[in-house]
Chains A and B, each alone.
Chain A
Amino acid sequence: MPVEGGVVISFARMNRILALDVRNRRAHVQPGVINLDVSKHAAESDLFFAPDPSSQKISTIGGNIATNAGGPHCLSYGTTVNHVLGLEIVDEHGEVFTTDLDGPGYDLTAAMVGSEGTLGIVTSAWVRLLQLPETVRVWLAAFGDVDSASAAVSAIVAAGIVPTALEMMDAVITRAVEAAFHAGYPTDAAAVLLIENAGFADDMDACEAAVEAIAKDHGAISWRTAAGAVERDALWAGRKGAAGATGRIAPNYYTQDVCVPRSKLPQALRAVDAATTAHGIVVGNVFHAGDGNLHPLLMYDKRNLKQVAAVVESGNAILQAAIDLGGTISGEHGIGFEKREAMTQVYSTADLATMARVRDVFDPTRALNPEKIFPRGTRCPEVAPPADPTARSA
């Protein structure tokens, strides 16, 4: 949304897959292509595009690149930046330039990915495709309390097991999901872990035994292996549709997005609980636990101004808690307009000024997404503290 007026460019019509190079496992796509469409198209050749944000049915490659989107499976495959091989960019003067990950010189691809459209407009991308795994197994572990579930996650990572995906949902979420989708989640557990491992059949049993043992050691009240593709898909559909399902709880939700070191997950979830309880906000947690990337969904009614204020307050308290635990203010959704003032809580003036140097080169007049990422008062070259740190919206 243009905060101070301006032009909005839509990529809805630049939505073609320009080339699929099966032999070299790459695709050339326009920015308006829907994420899921790339994998659907590539599946015919036994390939897929690894970044899978839960919004993958509606989000675009351009948006994924601009936010360096993650998703459940980036635990083992890495985020979007690991899967972009080169870009075509239009700069603020309308000039076109390209980046090439394998070419010599600075890694301009890395500079562009995650820059939220502030360094250039992506007009096409070469993305890496991976071979579809030969075996996929999905497990569901249920816990009697959130603490045990989060401790189990930390223990799985600490044991050196990195499954393909390791997601957590609390009871608020599983009940909403079950009401909406009948996906197969237990509704009597305080928290569940959705765990997937993809790879070779030879390694599956060992992985299953190890994860199951840790889950049970941490008090899992039930453990189940999804019976087949249909059951797996239903569980994933429930997980990816979780945010939408919360419509049954409250008319609106606000997703916070923070990331903490994985061993700090239990503390982080307790902090989320404290921050929301203090303001009388109902919270549902559905997130990428294996990465330490939390997504508390704060439920509210936007017509109720007191609730809106409470959401803002508890959202900020969660940010601060993540920072205090050695974490960061965004794991995958980006800074945008909303969190730009909080940038000064994680970075020094010098750190931000260094980022601004990159902006000076690619968008010296601040024509592109002018209100994003940088706190107010950071026009080059000086970075001043925020003018009004209290003015932040949900």
Chain B
Amino acid sequence: MTALERAAPESVTELSDLVAGCDAVERKILIVGGNTLNGMGFPPERADLTIETRRIAGTASYEPSDLTLAVKCGTAIQALAASLAPHGQFVPFDAPRPQYATVGGTLSSGWLGPRRHLYGRPRDYVIGTTVVLADGTIARAGGMVVKNVAGYDMSRLYVGSFGTLGILAQANLKTLVAPQHSRVFLARLPEGTRSRAFAHVASLRIQPAAAFWIDGFDLTVDGDDGDDGRVLILLEGSAALLERATRDLRSALGGAGVPETRIVDAGARESFQRTVDAYVATLGERSVTYRIFAFPERSEAIVRSISERARHFGLRCEAIVDLMNGDVIARVSDADALALGAKIEAFDDGLHEIQPGAQVIASEHPHRQYLRVWGQVPASIERMRALKLRFDPHRTLNPGRFVGGI
């Protein structure tokens, strides 16, 4: 859902004026970045004005020798990567569809990508922010230094707040030195090898930058499934490290009964990115994708129970398991939107009985609005509501989209 009236301000002051104007007359604002995660969260309970952030874009300042950069929120993740790459730097945000996803949207949604076990969470790269609050206040937090404990950590609070506390106008980021080499491993898993493959990959001394077990997602994600699906593993680091990691990985997979692996060096990063893109890839209106955060040791059992549930409902279930972090991505689908619509609410109820935390991260099906898209309501919801009330008393920003209808 979007409002008919749209605005795309070009500056923070213009944004602030717009927001203050709406707040004063109780008009509701829907905030849109690259629209790549519009399958997350509830639809807004009302939207009188859609504010697009894409024109507040570009690098505000970049000091490669400090490994810090200030970027405006409407900047696409890929554009951000392109300005860092010539200096051999990057930020490990791992956003799906980075050509469209914006810095503001990726941070506000609290997106968590597959390399976070190695490089940390996006929030941990944010050293300062400029936000526009519901009353139009332009507030800054943090700065351009990598350590800062002057006052509350407002920046991390805005990250993951889904635009309901304020609109992120600028983020100051810490950057990282890009790994020298990337290499992807692809392997089909023969029958009965899955559990051991999971365990062997998890116990590697040199941790892969990302490791996925995949079942389905043909054509979207590289490789072909064996009887037990397939694995796609990304190694990153120096040439010397990769050489050793390659040997270790081969013997780990061999020990799990996986006879053959294919190595992709040219195009490894793209292959990894296609897997991340698949997290939010829909099958038109005939699919719903769930995400579950779990400990790695539990993820295999979770996938199994979700597939069984799906089979029970006559739904197809495809899955991606992030073996390093434990995240389970499950895409359930049916032959057409009508068939899915007849089952999805009952499936959603059943799924939440076994996986109360399951969140919807992608779907174009109209029934999405009836699903428990955020999973179970968190224990501290009343304090979260109080925070919303103190920051946005008129419920001007993204009303109803967040957890518990915040």
By a beta-carbon cutoff of 8 Å, the part of chain A in contact with chain B is 23-24, 67-68, 70, 74, 78-79, 81-82, 97-100, 102-108, 110-111, 113-115, 119, 134, 154, 157-158, 160-162, 200, 202-203, 206, 259-263, 288, 291-293, 326-335, 339, 343, 346-348, 350-355, 357-362, 373
Contact = CB atoms under 8 A, between A and B. Distances in A.
A24 B380 contact: no
Nearest to A161: B177
Contacts of A332: 147, 149
Contact of A154 (B65, B68, B165, B406): B65
Contact residue range for chain B?
35 or more
B257 interface: no
A360 B387 CA distance: 9
B152 A111 contact: yes
B141 interface: yes
Contacts of A154: 65
17 contacts: A24-B295, A82-B121, A103-B357, A106-B165, A110-B123, A157-B65, A160-B88, A202-B243, A203-B241, A206-B238, A261-B66, A292-B147, A330-B148, A335-B151, A353-B137, A354-B139, A361-B386
B403 A358 contact: no
A114 B149 contact: yes
B145 A259 contact: yes
Contacts of A260: 145
B124 A67 contact: no
Given A111-B156, A200-B244, 4 more contacts: A105-B402, A110-B157, A259-B148, A262-B67
B8 interface: no
A97 B379 contact: yes
A200 B241 contact: yes
Given A81-B153, A329-B150, A354-B154, A203 B402 contact: no
Interface of B: 63-68, 88-89, 110, 120-121, 123-124, 133, 137-141, 143-154, 156-157, 159-161, 165, 176-177, 205-206, 237-238, 240-241, 243-244, 293, 295-297, 357, 359, 374-375, 378-381, 383-384, 386-387, 390-391, 402-404, 406
A158 B67 CA distance: 7
B164 to A, nearest CB: 8
B241 A107 contact: no
B154 to A, nearest CB: 6
Contact of B147 (A70, A343, A346): A70
Nearest to A120: B383
Nearest to A24: B295
A281 B165 CA distance: 46
Contacts of A113: 153
A78 B119 CA distance: 10
A328 B148 contact: yes
Contact of B380 (A105, A293, A331, A352): A105
Given A106-B157, A106-B165, A162-B177, A203 B240 contact: yes
